[in-house]
Structure 1
Amino acid sequence: MTEQQNRFLRSAPSTGAEFSKGSDVWSKLYIDPVLGSLLALLALLGLTALYSASGADLDMTLKQASSMLIGTVVMLTFARIPPSTYAYISPWFYGFGILLLIAVALFGDIRLGAQRWLTIPGVTSVQPSEFLKLAMPMMAAWFISSRPQPLNMKDVGISLVLIMLPVALIAEQPDLGTSILVFASGFFVLFLGGLPWRFMATLAGSFAILAPIGWGFLHDYQRRRVLTLFDPESDPLGNGWNIIQSKTAIGSGGTFGKGWLDGSQSHLHFLPEGHTDFIIAAYSEEFGFIGVILLMMIYTGILMRAFQIATQAQTSYGRLLAGAITLSFSVYVFVNVGMVGGILPVVGVPLPFVSYGGTAIITLMSGFGVLMSIHAHRKLMG
């Protein structure tokens, strides 16, 4: 185990003053005021960007606002649940998620060539892979926190099996973006739990060896996305269209942008998926470099505060889970910005709190609810 990992796991929490149940509204809600304020600011900025990117579609914006409201209720509810309860239900939640993924493979609805949804008759349809974004780090944290440190080869092997099982089921749907996020959420727990460097070197070597084999298992459209990354101009009206138009939108924004509601690439429909995966390109065109810097500062503030909460957790389970949730959030941002900027393949990862998508919003806020719980109940035990 590295010294950095050891400090993360063994850092002594700063208990501070006892948790106030008086007039402090933040304390009553079990919400960290810094993190809560940053999330609210990001949500407002996201709704502003979505309204313009959607072509001033008020209905879509209101649906997103409704999803954020539901997500807020979920976050407040999750924040009140003690971390010990999350530890107890982790294997059950994970097992339930695996069963749902198997049900998707057997009975799931096929939409746009992908089999990702389960229909609840007379109610709605759900995408079970979203549950694994939270169930996976919970399960990995539950298992690794119960094992002696440093981890031995057997424990690492079991952890990898637990991680790869849902990843394989999700990739088969196919949903490469979500499978990457689920893998990352589990691997971060493994890394923070004390994965020795020699194991990491072995995993990296194995990946390099197996990559050519894995290429053969990719779907044709996934291979095209990877190849387009290196030369989008080879097919400017086909596979390269998305990247070329997103770069054009980003560059045309300049320093200060064209102004809110004045973007041409998204409003004239040159920019594909301008309200979902490529929304930061539409945002960049209207708010420019300064606007992107502001957005990245908010994301950075959220990550810094979330890391503080993770290092102050009182239990190994809490530290591992909070750290994995935080790092997974950073992957959302990095992958989305990277693919829109043309440095990563397009894999369908939304920009947190900005891209349109109700299920993704609720999943993200559920994770932050767990993070709030870890922080609030640390104070209660102080």
Structure 2
Amino acid sequence: MSYLESNLKTVPTGLSKVLYLNWPLVILLTAVASTGFLMLYSVAGGTLDTWAEPQMKRFAVGMTAMFIVAFVPIWFWRNISLAAYLVALVLLIAVEFFGAIGMGAQRWLELGPLRIQPSELMKITLVMLLAAYYDWLDVDKVSRPLWVALPVAIILVPTFLVLAQPDLGTAVMLVAGGGLVMFAAGVSLWYFGTVIALIVALVFGVLESRGTDWQLLHDYQYKRIDTFLDPSADPLGAGYNITQAQIALGSGGWSGRGFMQGTQSRLNFLPEKHTDFIFTTLAEEFGFVGAFSLLMLYAGIIAFCIHAAVVNRDRFSSLLTLGVGGTFFFFFAINMAMVMGLMPVVGVPLPLVSYGGTAMMILLAAFGLVQSAHVHRPR
């Protein structure tokens, strides 16, 4: 029996749950999404119908889902975590056989009028299952090899399925989100140090093998590495996207060119201006002030997640909240690093700002889990 189940009498019931919602978190999420509506209106040339209005409708559905999830007791989500993970895993496997192809990748399932991306669901169900696993596991077993191997397998199975789509960005987020939960659960740092050492050795081996008989990557993959290290070497080819993004970021200056005055987006120089590269449009139109303001909104959301996790005395709730907050952090951190040229372009959208349906609604449902953990925590 968990700490939460033993203190059910202290948990709010009925309509009183509304009073215990983390309303500042709701306000922050709405502020970030509203920034997205504004930018989608801008990149569409002052039209709501193209991207902004559909995004608003999805946000409304997502917020409704968040409140529904928040009012369901947190123990229910813990009990179904394994089933939720297995459903997401089955959907990932189904993508391999029946998935729709778009932009050279096979990542989506078409279920009647719906088009879903199972990898987005896996990001959250993975965190749920790991949090439930470490809630069940005795603390003194957390770092034993046998009990470390199981969560590693839980992480790696969907990661390899996502890599096959191919979707490097989501694969990185699965590993990072799962690793964060393991770290928060108290897994020995020696394991993390070993993984980091192996990654460094792998990178070194990949670079050293270039041009040899045992070359580890194809020539076109090495070209991508070259483009990341020096986009200006091929500004009209492989380096075009990141070069245009950096021009937009730099031209915004301190306060930006003004709303709907960004030349890079208005003249269609920016690639994927409504999805992966929407942050560069914001930076061009509102400058450093606008970009920093959005970053502070994101930081506020992370701060609320950390605080909620620290004060929650239920282990599952605490680990789940940290896992969702960490996944959200990796979302925007990877996207911003990507468009600034600090890491390769891996196709990760800016959360709640980039245009997209599955990612937004699942992310809001995930924050419903955070709210459920907050509402139903022992008092």
Task: Please say whether Structure 1 and Structure 2 have the same fold, judged by a TM-score greater than 0.5.
Answer: yes
> What's the offset of the Cα at 1:224?
4.0
**Are residues 173 and 30 of structure 1, via their aligned partners in 2, closer, same or farther at CA, if it must alter by over 3 Å?**
farther
What is aligned with 1:6? none
For residues 219 and 125 of structure 2, the distance between their equivalents in structure 1, rounded to whole angstroms, comes to 30
Q: 2:200 aligns with which of 205, 208, 219?
A: 208
For residues 149 and 203 of structure 2, the distance between their equivalents in structure 1, rounded to whole angstroms, comes to 19
Kept in 2: contact 1:104–1:117 (CA 8 A): yes
Q: 1:90 aligns with which of 81, 86, 109?
A: 81
Q: Deviations over 1:150-193 (max 9, x none)?
A: 42111111111110000000110101111112222211111111
Q: 2:48 aligns with which of 37, 53, 58?
A: 58
**Are residues 243 and 354 of structure 1, via their aligned partners in 2, closer, same or farther at CA, if it must alter by over 3 Å?**
same
Q: 1:177 aligns with which of 169, 182, 193?
A: 169
> What's the offset of the Cα at 1:127?
1.5
Instruction: Please tell me whether residue 361 in structure 1 is matched to residue 360 in structure 2.
Output: yes
What is aligned with 1:247? 246
Q: 1:165 aligns with which of 147, 157, 162?
A: 157
Unmatched 5+ stretches in structure 2: 4-9, 208-214
SS of the residue corresponding to residue 348 of structure 1 reads coil
For residues 312 and 344 of structure 1, the distance between their equivalents in structure 2, rounded to whole angstroms, comes to 35
What is aligned with 2:22? 32
> What's the offset of the Cα at 1:218?
6.8
Letter in 2 for 1:151: S
Kept in 2: contact 1:133–1:363 (CA 8 A): no
For residues 191 and 227 of structure 1, the distance between their equivalents in structure 2, rounded to whole angstroms, comes to 33
Greater alpha carbon shift after TM alignment, 42-51 vs 253-262 = 42-51
Kept in 2: contact 1:75–1:368 (CA 8 A): yes
Kept in 1: contact 2:302–2:329 (CA 8 A): yes
Letter in 2 for 1:361: M
Kept in 2: contact 1:94–1:135 (CA 8 A): yes
**Are residues 337 and 132 of structure 1, via their aligned partners in 2, closer, same or farther at CA, if it must alter by over 3 Å?**
same
SS of the residue corresponding to residue 110 of structure 2 reads strand
**Are residues 217 and 124 of structure 1, via their aligned partners in 2, closer, same or farther at CA, if it must alter by over 3 Å?**
farther
For residues 219 and 276 of structure 1, the distance between their equivalents in structure 2, rounded to whole angstroms, comes to 29
Aligned length: 362
**Over aligned residues, Cα RMSD in angstroms?**
2.3
Q: Deviations over 1:195-249 (max 9, x none)?
A: 2111111111222334467787878766544331101011100111111111111
For residues 183 and 370 of structure 1, the distance between their equivalents in structure 2, rounded to whole angstroms, comes to 20
Unmatched 5+ stretches in structure 1: 1-9, 11-16
Equivalent runs, 1:41-52 vs 2, <5 Å: 41-52=31-42
Equivalent runs, 1:317-328 vs 2, <5 Å: 317-328=316-327
Q: 1:189 aligns with which of 181, 197, 209?
A: 181
Q: 1:156 aligns with which of 148, 151, 174?
A: 148
Instruction: Please tell me whether residue 132 in structure 1 is matched to residue 131 in structure 2.
Output: no
Letter in 1 for 2:369: V
What is aligned with 1:281? 280
**Are residues 78 and 49 of structure 1, via their aligned partners in 2, closer, same or farther at CA, if it must alter by over 3 Å?**
same
Greater alpha carbon shift after TM alignment, 179-188 vs 319-328 = 179-188
Kept in 2: contact 1:232–1:241 (CA 8 A): yes
Greater alpha carbon shift after TM alignment, 66-75 vs 211-220 = 211-220
**Are residues 288 and 176 of structure 1, via their aligned partners in 2, closer, same or farther at CA, if it must alter by over 3 Å?**
same
Letter in 2 for 1:131: L
Aligned identity (percent) is: 38
For residues 214 and 118 of structure 1, the distance between their equivalents in structure 2, rounded to whole angstroms, comes to 34
For residues 176 and 315 of structure 2, the distance between their equivalents in structure 1, rounded to whole angstroms, comes to 19
For residues 217 and 56 of structure 1, the distance between their equivalents in structure 2, rounded to whole angstroms, comes to 48
Instruction: Please tell me whether residue 238 in structure 1 is matched to residue 243 in structure 2.
Output: no
**Are residues 299 and 219 of structure 1, via their aligned partners in 2, closer, same or farther at CA, if it must alter by over 3 Å?**
farther
TM-score (norm. length: structure 2): 0.90
What is aligned with 1:332? 331
Greater alpha carbon shift after TM alignment, 201-210 vs 76-85 = 201-210
Kept in 2: contact 1:29–1:76 (CA 8 A): no
Letter in 1 for 2:289: I
For residues 319 and 96 of structure 1, the distance between their equivalents in structure 2, rounded to whole angstroms, comes to 24
**Are residues 50 and 211 of structure 1, via their aligned partners in 2, closer, same or farther at CA, if it must alter by over 3 Å?**
same
For residues 273 and 217 of structure 1, the distance between their equivalents in structure 2, rounded to whole angstroms, comes to 31
**Are residues 168 and 47 of structure 1, via their aligned partners in 2, closer, same or farther at CA, if it must alter by over 3 Å?**
same
What is aligned with 2:62? 71
TM-score (norm. length: structure 1): 0.89
Kept in 1: contact 2:11–2:376 (CA 8 A): no
For residues 14 and 263 of structure 2, the distance between their equivalents in structure 1, rounded to whole angstroms, comes to 51
